[in-house]
Amino acid sequence: NMVSVSAVDVTSDGSYATVYVSLLGFGKDGFASDEQKEEILKAFGRCKGLFKKEIGKKIKLRHIPELIFKMDNSLEYGMHMNQVISSLGIENYKNYDEEEVSALDAELDDIMKDL
């Protein structure tokens, strides 16, 4: 299992920093359950003071921003989209004529409506 900080957004005044956390290798499909995600976010919240202390040691700032932890689900979403695209069987997309491409585009639009 791996927990990674994938991005940090700091407000313009430097008072808040949103820390995006991604998870890999959890569960049978490699993704964390909602309960696991919640527990990890709670654990990060409990360690907030330690994180701020370490940030203060490494970066000279007048004020260390308040940390807000959020889950980054972009990797899961990307893998899901990859599965959807793979299930369409469009490996030879470049070899299709215009009519076939239009039909596949319509099918993909229908699938995207359900997401």
CATH homologous superfamily of 1-72: K homology (KH) domain (3.30.300.20)
> How far is CA 90 from each of CA 57, 82, 93, 104, 111, rounded to the nearest angstrom?
52, 12, 5, 8, 14
pLDDT tens-place string over residues 22-49:
988 777 677 788 888 999 999 999 999 9
pTM above 0.85, yes or no: no
Helix or strand holding residue 8 (H, E)? strand 2-10
Residue-range domain boundaries for the chain: 1-72, 73-115
> 113 pairs with which residues across the strands?
none
pLDDT tens-place string over residues 57-66:
999 888 999 9
Q: What's the DSSP call for residue 33?
A: -
